[in-house]
Structure 1
Amino acid sequence: MSQAELAVDAKAALGEGPSWDERNGCLYWVNIEEKTLHTYDVAAQKTVASISVPSRIGAVVPRRSGGTVIVLEDGFYACDPATGELIFLGNPDGRKPNTRFNDGKCDAAGRFWAGTMSLDGTPGQGALYCLEPDLTIRTVLENVSCSNGLAWSPDNRTMYYIDSPTKKVMAYDYDLATGEISNPRVVAEVTEPGAVPDGMTCDEEGMIWVALWGGYGIRRWNPATGELLLKVDVPAEQSSSCSFAGPDLDELYITSARTGISETSLANQPLAGGLFVYRSAVKGLPTYGFGG
């Protein structure tokens, strides 16, 4: 078992969505329930900005033209991570009421993929959307219960996707030129009691790294064979997402959460809600920015 180390003792209610901005050496991550966007300077190993946003924030990605793009409960926004200035970009047509955005990530062409989930846990109310660089929004998958991790293979020919309650990691053939997906199949399945797959990333060898909510850590799978290759221990039961960062893309940053954990259980995991880092022997793939 490999061990992750504490980077920030944030005690976040619901830490999520780490993404690496190589332009300024910063890792962005969000605290969904506390409606906060954090900027962490990887070289200096310190938080350099924490801004409040008007509603729950599901995910953040760098924007190629500067700043970031985020998803709030009512849609996509351009956001200045230093000041919190927001510009509304759009909200998907036909979104079901009583849902919020959750995880999201950009593909290599600069499309921002982000999905939703029900606020009260009703299954099948969410969907997966794609914000194109021209700011049009497509609905790609419907009847999703808790849209979560996204990743692409190094050759961009496969997209991986997680709807957490299914406990499965799905793969789709991916057309980078059009953003179309096809040929769904299961490439990994979580069988650990009480755990579900949450956020996800991919490394340069094409292996997937999946955060286990309820599983105290990260698992690395070979999506071609389904073989479990590595367990990374995190001292937080609700590990929520992960992203490679740093100048050599060999630092795996991991978010976690405290929400829903009893005081008795928190006493045994005082670092829950922290931001953690694992020094990897394998390099990750870049975080792509939004192209619009």
Structure 2
Amino acid sequence: MSSEFQTWEVKTPYLNLHCGLGEGPYYEPATQTLRFVDIKNRKLHTVSVNDPSDLTTLSFNEPVTVTADIEGVDPKEKVLIGAKQGLAVLDRKTGEYEYISKIEGEGADRIRSNDGAVDPQGRFWMGSMTDFGKGDFRPEGSLFQFSQTHPPKVALTDLTIPNSVGWSPDQKTMYFTHSNAREVIAWDYDTSPFSSAALTLSNKRIFYQHEGKGEPDGFRVDVQGNIWHAVYGESRVLKLSPEGKLIGEIRLPTRNITCVEFVGEELFITTAGDDDAAEGEESKENGGGLFRVNVGVKGVGHDLFKL
């Protein structure tokens, strides 16, 4: 493998919906579509990866923040979603959803869910954070583990912006990004059989500490063990080696890069609006767009939630 620093540059969006906060891209191979949310505008978009004009949108009365597929369920019919109060199942035909597990406790009305992912055992890990309209973001969020048979278990507390969760290709390492701390945390992850109520993390360590002015946001892992990490505020996606070293970057024409998703060897990239840019500026014009770029490697794919 080459030791040279790799660079890619994307100049135009694949689809520019001017999302307030585009997030959570998730590929559906059977339909060759990508679904992604706009958290601020409370929407779920689904677009063909072959035709950007082939787009459908669902609108909600509260934030929907992340999605995942459910074992044994056709994703054209129903998917798992993170909604304001916790984890829910969305009927994609009607746009209605039903909570299966809620975040309870004092101050629960102040928070909403954020990013998350299904683990190799079929449980969903998801963070919570201060909701929009509640003032400045506070360290009142947590990282939860949701299973099909238990209330959510708390893995971490006192978080301000908990973000993406993912696993190494051998499933022996779990990664988690705490955005405002500008760090990606790693744990040893136990893949042996166990009670679905258990937390299985040990040997907590800092995998990557970001030194730039922006904040690491969402990520995906490729089959070689590299992490492709969006950076909010820096117009780029980082390629991090399995050792946590910066070995490449994708440059984009807008500042606030939020998350990525593999479609074959292409990376689809969500972004947020740039309210700080002036009208007509490149970052403003492209903010909230969906981008794509061939990076020459495939992602590890998604596990399915066991409902």
Alignment match, 2:211? 191
| 1:36-62 deviation line (CA, Å, top 9, x unaligned) | 011122234444320011201111112
How far the C-alpha of 1:116 sits from its partner, in A, is 0.8
For residue 146 of structure 2, the aligned residue among 131, 134, 138 is 131
How far the C-alpha of 1:220 sits from its partner, in A, is 0.7
Alignment match, 2:65? 58
1:89–1:135: 8 Å Cα contact kept in structure 2? no
Alignment match, 1:282? 297
Once residues 157 and 95 of structure 1 are traced to their aligned partners in structure 2, the CA distance between those partners, rounded to angstroms, is 35
SS at match of 2:281: helix
Q: Does residue 1:115 correspond to 2:127, yes or no?
A: yes
Q: Aligned partner of 2:257: which letter? A: S
Once residues 266 and 153 of structure 1 are traced to their aligned partners in structure 2, the CA distance between those partners, rounded to angstroms, is 41
Q: Aligned in 2, Cα 1:95/1:276: closer, same or farther, shift over 3 Å? A: farther
1:96–1:126: 8 Å Cα contact kept in structure 2? no
Alignment match, 1:217? 236
SS at match of 1:6: coil
| 1:77-96 deviation line (CA, Å, top 9, x unaligned) | 10123431212212023363
Q: Does residue 1:68 correspond to 2:76, yes or no?
A: no
Once residues 265 and 53 of structure 2 are traced to their aligned partners in structure 1, the CA distance between those partners, rounded to angstroms, is 18
Q: Does residue 1:87 correspond to 2:98, yes or no?
A: yes
| 1:97-116 deviation line (CA, Å, top 9, x unaligned) | 31111111112222111101
How far the C-alpha of 1:276 sits from its partner, in A, is 0.8
Q: Aligned in 2, Cα 1:43/1:133: closer, same or farther, shift over 3 Å? A: farther
Once residues 137 and 95 of structure 1 are traced to their aligned partners in structure 2, the CA distance between those partners, rounded to angstroms, is 15
1:196–1:214: 8 Å Cα contact kept in structure 2? yes
1:49–1:82: 8 Å Cα contact kept in structure 2? no
Once residues 21 and 63 of structure 1 are traced to their aligned partners in structure 2, the CA distance between those partners, rounded to angstroms, is 12
Q: Aligned in 2, Cα 1:266/1:135: closer, same or farther, shift over 3 Å? A: farther
1:7–1:45: 8 Å Cα contact kept in structure 2? yes
Alignment match, 1:165? 180
SS at match of 2:180: helix
Q: Aligned in 2, Cα 1:29/1:157: closer, same or farther, shift over 3 Å? A: same
Q: Does residue 1:103 correspond to 2:123, yes or no?
A: no
SS at match of 1:264: coil
Alignment match, 2:155? 140
Alignment match, 1:23? 30
Normalised by the length of structure 1, the TM-score is 0.92
Please, what is the CA RMSD of the aligned residues?
Answer: 1.8
Q: Aligned partner of 1:213: which letter? A: Y
| 1:174-213 deviation line (CA, Å, top 9, x unaligned) | 1234451111111111112x21100011000011111000
SS at match of 2:278: helix
1:7-18 equivalences under 5 Å are 7-18=14-25
Q: Does residue 1:3 correspond to 2:9, yes or no?
A: yes
1:266–1:272: 8 Å Cα contact kept in structure 2? no
Once residues 168 and 117 of structure 2 are traced to their aligned partners in structure 1, the CA distance between those partners, rounded to angstroms, is 13
Once residues 103 and 153 of structure 2 are traced to their aligned partners in structure 1, the CA distance between those partners, rounded to angstroms, is 7
| 1:202-240 deviation line (CA, Å, top 9, x unaligned) | 00001111100001010011132x321111011110000
Q: Aligned in 2, Cα 1:29/1:95: closer, same or farther, shift over 3 Å? A: farther
1:188–1:223: 8 Å Cα contact kept in structure 2? no
1:78–1:86: 8 Å Cα contact kept in structure 2? yes
What percent of counterpart residues are identical?
27
How far the C-alpha of 1:263 sits from its partner, in A, is 4.8
Which sections of structure 2, spanning at least 5 residues, go unmatched?
1-6
Q: Which moved more, 1:114-123 or 1:230-239?
A: 114-123
| 1:247-290 deviation line (CA, Å, top 9, x unaligned) | xx21211110015x235166232111001111111111112222
Q: Aligned partner of 2:245: which letter? A: E
Once residues 117 and 108 of structure 1 are traced to their aligned partners in structure 2, the CA distance between those partners, rounded to angstroms, is 25
Once residues 41 and 268 of structure 1 are traced to their aligned partners in structure 2, the CA distance between those partners, rounded to angstroms, is 25
2:253–2:282: 8 Å Cα contact kept in structure 1? no
